[in-house]
Amino acid sequence: MANIRDIARESGLSIGTISRYINSTGYVSEESAKKIQMVINEMNYTPNQHARALFNSKSKIIGLVFPSLINPYFSELATIFEHLLQEKGYVIILCNTEDSREKELQALELLKGFRVEGIILGRSQCKNELNKINIPMISYESTVENNNIITVSADNYKGGAQAFEHLYKKGCRKLLHIKGPTSFEATQLRYEGFIDSANKKGIKPEIINFDTDFDLQNKNYIDGVLDNYDMKKYDGIFVFNDIVAAQMLRYLNEKQIKVPKDIKLLGFDNSYICDLLSPRLSTIEQPIISIAERCIELLFEIIDGKEVYEKEHLITTRIIQRETT
């Protein structure tokens, strides 16, 4: 592939002149500019971003560290991030961690090597290790105490409370909660908000603990767990996210338990899957566009050297009633 030396040789101009023209860093005569552009077109030359990154420390890369793209909420969020960053002239390097702390640390080290200008970290399993990274960073869904990393998150605690209030208003009193892994801060808070609100009304929901998020290798995990419970005991179920709620709905349909007549069912996320199910899934919305925009806005404030005083940014959730409640 042609490089800057080839352009200099072909145009008979100096590397310095070519560099000034390409990077708009100084004066180039109109005649030289014309000649350089002609040679660039002829040689099908694209400026080398690595040279730019070395020269002005602007790699134009943002690292996106996510558990995986299998959960539809994460794939939607990644797609929005890509879109917003594309508009700003940035690309994404994507690293999946499968919720492994080791893989996350490896990914961060890798992104450091690429001198990414910023990192968006989704559902981090790291804590104090993040202090060492020294790259502008937004943590989505995981707070890091005693340090400067900005967190953006839905208000999961209030979202859990909204879930209870909605089911309560619909007349549900015999509640079940499918709880996400304890290591996921967001689903832990949804659980706490749900339980605290229920307790205030004198209701003690039963809990089923899930060790994992939805997992391709283990698509029927839910069936094995649920078969130990009698679903007829409950009149309302709140599930920690939409994709597991979709599995729950499929399970209830298979057991001929009618939703919403026999049991009301509520998810969390408002991912696109809600509208693909029948009945369509009621859920607590994490406003995905606001969340994505806030992450990008704050990340670029840090990149631009501004001080961000508020460390924890909570985005308000709301109930989206469809047909399962």
Q: Is 109 in the site for a copy of itself (CB under 8 A)?
A: yes
**Minimum distance from residue 258 beta carbon to a copy of itself (Å):** 12
If you write DSSP's letter for every residue of 22-40 in order, what string do you get?
HHT-S---HHHHHHHHHHH
Kindly state whether residue 115 participates in binding a copy of itself, applying the rule CB under 8 A: yes
Cα–Cα separations (whole angstroms), residue 148 to 134, 139, 186, 220, 315: 10, 11, 19, 40, 19
Among 278, 290, 316, 321, binds a copy of itself (CB under 8 A): 278
In the region spanning residues 117 to 136, those forming contacts with a copy of itself, defined by CB under 8 A, are 132, 134
Q: Does 145 bind a copy of itself (CB under 8 A)?
A: no
Residue from 206, 211, 227, 275 binding a copy of itself (CB under 8 A): 275
Among 30, 31, 254, 307, binds a copy of itself (CB under 8 A): 254
Residues 192-231 close enough to bind a copy of itself by CB under 8 A: 214, 216, 219-220
Which regions of 180-224 does DSSP assign to beta strands (E)?
A: 206-209
**114 interacts with a copy of itself by CB under 8 A:** yes
> Any idea what DSSP says for residue 245?
H
Q: How far is the CB of 31 from a copy of itself (least distance, A)?
A: 26
| CA angle, 277 then 262 then 224, to 5° | 65
Is the bond leading into 279 cis (omega within 30 degrees of zero)?
A: yes
> Which residues, at least 6 apart from 108, have a Cβ–Cβ distance to it below 8 Å?
63, 65, 119, 126, 130, 133
Binding-residue pattern over the window 19 to 48 for a copy of itself, x denoting contact by CB under 8 A: -------------------------x-xxx
72 versus 160: smaller Cβ distance to a copy of itself: 72
Size of the residue set binding a copy of itself (CB under 8 A): 56
Q: What residues between 47 and 86 interact with a copy of itself by CB under 8 A?
A: 47-51, 53-54, 59, 61, 64, 68-70, 72, 75-76, 78-79, 82-83, 86
By CB under 8 A, name the one of 130, 144, 243, 315 that touches a copy of itself: 243
Instruction: Convert residues 154-193 into a mask of x (bound to a copy of itself by CB under 8 A) and - (unbound).
Output: ----------------------------------------
CB-facing half-sphere around the CA of 200: CA atoms within 13 A: 9
Query: What's the CA gap between 72 and 76, in Å, rounded?
Result: 6
Q: What are phi and psi of 285, to 5 degrees?
A: -80, 130
* Cα angle 189-192-193, degrees, rounded to a multiple of 5: 85
- Which residues, including other chains, have CB under 8 Å from residue 187's CB and lie 6 or more apart? 156, 179, 180, 181, 240, 241, 268
Report the residue from 7, 39, 95, 198 that binds a copy of itself according to the rule CB under 8 A: 95
Per DSSP, the three-state class of 132 is: helix
Give the binding site for a copy of itself (CB under 8 A): 1, 44, 46-51, 53-54, 59, 61, 64, 68-70, 72, 75-76, 78-79, 82-83, 86, 91-96, 109-110, 112-115, 132, 134, 214, 216, 219-220, 243, 246-247, 249-250, 253-254, 272-273, 275-278, 280
